[in-house]
């Protein structure tokens, strides 16, 4: 079996793109299948874990680049940066900036207050406790829990 690669399939890719068209948001095709991208039927061809991981990594990189613009983010250690990137991934950059008191605390390097502001939020009640407590721990200590146990 010949495995297609982008170079071998250049003309095929161009043709399929032209015939299918691109849709960024899911839609129902003529058969009622949930479809996205260039005719990808999620009913008959669900996303694989590796495809989902690729998309997640792309989104995490976008979140990192958005936050990298701010001096207070650039001054953080890697673990605390991870917390803010994950938060941005989860609720978007606008959501991150709704945490005004948490950001003020981060600017002051007051990580007790920053953690408290993260956990004293509507977001805290919307996500799994394991996630919120883990992110609060990392924001407070600048370390993963398993690194200190």
The whole domain housing 116 covers: 49-148
Give me the CATH number covering residue 119: 1.10.530.40
CA proximity to 34, closest of 46, 25, 43: 43
pTM for the model stands at 0.86
79 close to 138: Cβ distance less than 8 angstroms: yes
Query: How many domains are there within the chain?
Result: 2
* Co-location of 41 and 83 in the same domain: no
* Co-location of 35 and 74 in the same domain: no
* Co-location of 72 and 131 in the same domain: yes
27 has pLDDT over 90: yes
* Co-location of 17 and 69 in the same domain: no
Q: What is the mean pLDDT of the chain?
A: 93
* Co-location of 63 and 135 in the same domain: yes
The total of other beta-carbon atoms located within 10 Å of residue 52's CB is: 11
91 close to 123: Cβ distance less than 8 angstroms: yes
pLDDT in tens, 49-79: 999 999 999 999 999 999 999 999 999 999 9
């Amino acid at each position: 079996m010949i495995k297609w690669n982008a170079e071998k399939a250049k003309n095929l890719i161009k043709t399929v793109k032209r015939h299918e068209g691109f849709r960024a948001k899911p839609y129902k095709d003529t058969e009622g299948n949930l479809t996205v991208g260039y005719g990808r039927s999620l009913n008959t061809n669900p996303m694989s874990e590796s495809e989902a991981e690729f998309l997640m990594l792309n989104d995490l990189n976008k979140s990192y680049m958005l936050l990298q613009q701010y001096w207070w983010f650039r001054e953080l250690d890697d673990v605390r940066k991870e917390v803010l990137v994950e938060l941005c991934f989860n609720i978007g950059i606008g959501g991150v900036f709704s945490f005004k008191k948490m950001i003020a605390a981060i600017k002051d390097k007051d990580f007790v207050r920053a953690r408290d502001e993260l956990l004293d939020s509507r977001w805290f009640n919307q996500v799994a406790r394991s996630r919120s407590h883990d992110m609060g721990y990392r924001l407070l200590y600048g370390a993963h829990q398993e690194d200190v146990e």
